[in-house]
Amino acid sequence: MSELLATPATRIVLSVAILIILILFAWYGLTNFRGRIDEDIPAANDHLDNFREIHSKGDISETEFRNIKTVLGEQLHPEPADSADSKDDADSVY
């Protein structure tokens, strides 16, 4: 058995196999870690609720709250693309 492991070809094959296994473990770990990070990001509604509570406590002014609400509102309801352009694109498909 030790003679088999002494040949350079066997060492290379084992090294490559170990490297592939390590890469697969790293890929699996990173994809699971990224998935958990994405789940932890609060939505714009959650942020708005938090700022509403801060505003009700008096920690931020009405003007600051309106500015925050405007920015978060844009994230909640993104502006649709120009309807004339999208209508032209739809007509060209048919």
> What's the whole-model pTM score?
0.40
The domain locations on the chain are 1-41, 43-94
pLDDT in tens, the chain (94 residues): 677 778 888 899 999 999 999 999 999 988 888 767 666 667 777 878 888 899 899 888 999 888 888 888 777 666 555 544 544 554 444 4
Cα 21 to Cα 7, 9, 33, 43, 78, distances in angstroms: 22, 19, 18, 37, 43
